[in-house]
Structure 1
Amino acid sequence: MDWLKAMNNAVEYIEDNINEKFDIEKVSKIALSSPFHFQRMYHMITGVTVAEYIRRRRLTLAAQDILSGEKIINVAYKYGYETPESFTKAFKKLHGISPTAAREQGASLKAYPKLSFHISIKGDKDMNYKIVEKGSFKVVGKQKRMTMSGEENFKQVPKFWYDCMADGSYDWLTSKAGKLGVLGVSKDFDKFTDEFNYMIAVEEIKDPLPKGYISATIPAATWAVFESVGPVPEALHELLRRIYSEWMPSTGYQHDCAPDIDVFPIGDMSSPDYRCELWIPVRK
């Protein structure tokens, strides 16, 4: 399968150039993908960002070099750290001990192995979807900057919802919700920092916007629309992983450069029967 081969080729390139400055444009080209799509898919399948994978691999190899007798300062520079202090801090965060302590007999270290991609055909659950063509439209709501690093977005996004419910923003938005309902919009992905903007929004309204609210344009796109059944956010997270690890590789679709949209009808989001939709912009 071309997709599988391309993703593994990208990992091999990363490994062959692990000491070099990371070039996301080159890696994503090898993966036959855009930088946005490659990083998004990589994160959803593996649970870590590309940058985090590289960091862990470098520190795994650094530990081996230290055990072989290389000077710590040389190892630090070899793996891209500007100072021995910054290297020591990163080393301790992964391994739990300092580079010096790693040389002691019996020291316990962590190893993060090289990844490879394989397709697992499960077939235990159907993935029903529909393809929808939708023109450009505007949304209004509240926005916050998030990061995918360390899967922090899986914590930050729910907290943003809870905060908006607590301060009354969610109630105001539900009172203005249009046909689609209340939307969660992930957009403006930064290919260098793993950060993106997340909006809790509704389709554009004519009323003046209160302080702290913004307007944004969603571009025209082709959307793959999936239904999620179950409590939010757990059911959505599981669906996202399946879309990137199962549906996209098996259908030949890939992520297009437009926002992801969660469509939330008014209802009890914690219910095991709650139904919402996930809109993924796609292209063949």
Structure 2
Amino acid sequence: MIAELNTLIDLIESDLNRGDGTADAALDPGLDLETLTAQIGTTEYHLRRMFSSLSGMPLSEYVRRRRMTVAAAEVVAGRELLGIAVRFGYGSAEAFGRAFRSVHGTSPAEVRRSGGPLRSQPTIRFRLTIEGTSSMDTRITEQPAFSLIGHAARVPLIYEGENPHIREHISSLPDDEHVRLKALSEMEPRGLLQVTAHVDPDHREGTELTYLHGVAVGSDASAPKDLDVIALEAGTWAVFTASGPYPEALQTTWAATASEWFPSNPWQLRPGPSIVAIAERSEDFSTATTELWMPVERG
């Protein structure tokens, strides 16, 4: 996966140097990710997820910053703004100016007068360091088609600490509803589940996702009409077990799947929800043993 990500970086730089980018809202500057991922033997979904997890920023954001870093050199050099805008895929100098300000915090005109300030985005280079001092408790399991049923809400994505929007959603449910849901659980992953689905492809913090508080049932089960349903096809899942302070241990394990496990194993993510099952927990929920279920396929 590290080699594939570096190939992507090289192609971004090549495209920027040619200056034939477009203002494609999904991915600037117009890289054909579908063709690229087919050539290097992975999927766009997996590539985007691994990039954002390892770099700490969405792929689209990185490309936007690199575009404006390269464009800044042309602004400082005094080239005509409309020409720069067209080169970098914008239909007008005004549109380019807005994009420029969003990255550098100032206008092209001000940069021309004073030479700055400029916020440069260096070219990323991925490297894999394997310490070999610890192992991840992981198993691969084949799951038949099943459904996740429960109470769903749209909440913002938050990487660190407890998500207050999720806490509010769960707290809004009466105690007897948790008991009812748990009684409906009939297959793995067992018990009450924390499900995140319909996540932004780049996993940008602050974007909305679907959070479902519920349980797993067979695909032929009849869900109560007051519950939301996420139907899943049969497939392979990687299950990562984490124990320790909650939610810190779970979040550390989640990050390590991208930085350690996926680069070292012949699996890649496939589209689908991520599921957290609580195997054990302390009374105050300060510590817990969790299972993180992630949909995977052979790379």
TM-score by length of 1: 0.83
CA distance in 1, matches of 2:202, 2:33: 8
Cα deviation, 1:151-208, whole Å, max 9, x if unaligned, reads x453799243122133227862454122612223333456599775443322247563
Are the aligned partners of 2:155 and 2:165 in contact in 1 as well (CA < 8 Å)?
A: no
**Counterpart-to-counterpart distance in 1, 2:85 and 2:275:** 41
Cα distance in 1 for partners of 2:292, 2:12 equals: 31
Matches within 5 A, 1:103-252: 103-105=112-114, 107-145=116-154, 152-154=157-159, 158-168=163-173, 172-173=177-178, 175-177=180-182, 178=185, 180-188=190-198, 191=201, 197-204=210-217, 208-210=224-226, 213-252=227-266
Q: Find the residue that maps to 1:103 and give its secondary structure.
A: helix
Partners of 1:42 and 1:229 in 2: CA distance: 26
Pick from 22, 29, 41: which aligns with 2:38? 29
Unaligned runs of 5+ in 2: 23-29
Partner of 2:289: 275
**Following the alignment from structure 2 to structure 1, what is the Cα–Cα distance between the partners of residues 49 and 151?**
23
- Deviation of the 1:65 alpha carbon: 1.3
Contact kept in structure 2, 1:143 and 1:197, CA below 8 Å:
yes
- In structure 2, the partner of 1:57 is 66
* Superposition deviation, residue 25 in structure 1: 0.8
Residue 142 of structure 1: SS of its match in structure 2? strand
Which residue does the alignment assign to 2:277? 263
Cα deviation, 1:258-279, whole Å, max 9, x if unaligned, reads 3322213474597453111101
Aligned-residue Cα RMSD (Å) equals 3.0
Give the letter for the 2:35 counterpart.
K
Unaligned runs of 5+ residues in structure 1 are: none
Is the CA contact (8 Å cut-off) linking 1:187 and 1:197 kept in structure 2? yes
**Quick one: distance in 2 between partners of 1:43 and 1:170?**
37
Q: CA shift at 1:78, angstroms? A: 2.1
Give the whole-Å Cα distance in 2 for the aligned partners of 1:157 and 1:145: 16
CA contact (8 A) 1:136 1:219 kept: yes
**Structure 2: distance between partners of 1:103 and 1:118:** 37
Equivalent residue letter for 1:201: G
Q: Alpha-carbon deviation of 1:219?
A: 1.9
Q: State whether residues 136 and 220 of structure 1, in contact with CA within 8 Å, keep that contact through their aligned partners in structure 2.
A: yes
* TM-score using structure 2 length: 0.79
Cα shift readout 1:53-91 (whole Å, capped 9, x = no counterpart) = 111111111111111112223222322233333332332
CA distance in 1, matches of 2:48, 2:99: 22
Alpha-carbon contact 1:143-1:198 (below 8 Å) kept: yes
Identical pairs, percent: 28
Shift >6 Å, 4+ stretches: 192-195
Distance 1:182 1:104, change over 3 A: farther
**1:30 to partner: Cα distance:** 3.9
| Cα distance in 2, alignment partners of residues 76 and 269 from structure 1 | 58
Instruction: For 2:103 and 2:287, locate their aligned partners in 1 and report how far apart those are by CA, in whole Å.
Output: 40
- The count of corresponding residues between Structure 1 and Structure 2 is 276
Q: Secondary structure at the match of 2:287?
A: coil
Structure 1 segment 1-80 matched on structure 2, within 5 A: 3-18=1-16, 19-20=21-22, 21-80=30-89
